[in-house]
Amino acid sequence: MNRKPIITCAVTGSGDTAGKHPDLPKSPEEIATAAIEAAKAGAAIAHIHVREPETGKPCRDVDLYREVVARVRDSATDVIINLTTGMGGDLYLGPDDDPLQFAGNTDCVGQLERMAHVEALLPEICSLDCGSFNYMGQNYVYVSTQTMLELGARRLQEIGVKPELEVFDVGHIWFAKHMIEQGLIDSPPLFQVCLGIPWGAPAKPGVFQTMVNELPESCNWGGFAIGAMEMPMVAQSMLLGGNVRVGLEDNLYLEKGVLASNAQLVDRARTIIEALGASVQTPAEARVNLGLKSP
């Protein structure tokens, strides 16, 4: 059991959730405020996407990231910034008789373009999705190839940003360990076990245990599940020895029918952690344990 876990708050994500939650953070100011409020509630890490302020659609605009990061860094609240690099991997194939006629909502670019905002802003952490997989929707594949990931990992080493190795299935862990063996990931590696995202690993206790069993020794890791399994997996991740993640990227509700804020979700996770006899890490403690360079 992890008696001093780190809480990560994923504050807005890239899912089609803007129309489902009236207070979902969309503008840079709202996203930064949500990250700061989550930190005050007990989150050591804020995992950040950006959205088009007017529509709420996810995007990769470097200037939007720049404004969010500046607002968080200029605040009086300490929090570790973790920027996504997952945007730019969406491939929508055409019909069966013409699959290379990609649909208009395809947004598939190279790894270095996916990391342009990381290059510009140098957060302490950024995510790195460790493999391709079928995703929700017909003919939709999230693309993250071996070449892309090796190129991205090498560049992150050069600029001194810690990759959070997001793994959505057991094969992704296998590949992440390959990158570690190739010397592309600095010690200690950081993993995030992602559960319940169709069509990756389901959010089941036995599946979670299996994935944890495959993680390399001496790594740092956390885990989460989306939807109604978010809080149950806070407890299981702790019991298995890991850190935890909550936030509106993963789940919109505090309880059935009651929409949540990011700070409320962090507070609920902290309540679970403390009820199990543990306490949460501060950003300063997390930096030491994760082997992060000074911000």
Q: What is the pLDDT of residues 58-113, one digit of tens each?
A: 999 999 999 999 999 999 999 999 999 999 999 999 999 999 999 888 999 999 99
The reported pLDDT for the residue numbered 136 is 82
Taking the model in full, what pTM does it have? 0.96
- Joined together, the tokens standing for residue 279 give 């306490």
CATH superfamily of 7-290: Aldolase class I (3.20.20.70)
Give residue for tokens 């979670």: 208
The reported pLDDT for the residue numbered 258 is 97
Long-range CB contact pairs, 203-208, < 8 A, 24+? 203/227, 203/229, 203/233, 205/236, 208/233, 208/236, 208/237, 208/240
Q: Are 205 and 235 a contacting pair, CB within 8 Å?
A: no
Cβ neighbourhood burial of 78 (10 Å; 0-12, 13-18, 19+): middle
The reported pLDDT for the residue numbered 294 is 62
Q: What does the mean pLDDT of the chain come to? A: 96
pLDDT digits (tens, 9 = 90+) for 8-38: 999 999 988 999 999 999 999 999 999 999 9
pLDDT digits (tens, 9 = 90+) for 215-259: 999 999 999 999 999 999 999 999 999 999 999 999 999 999 999
Q: What percent of the chain has pLDDT over 90?
A: 95
Please determine, for residue 137, whether its predicted confidence score (pLDDT) is greater than 90.
no
The reported pLDDT for the residue numbered 135 is 86
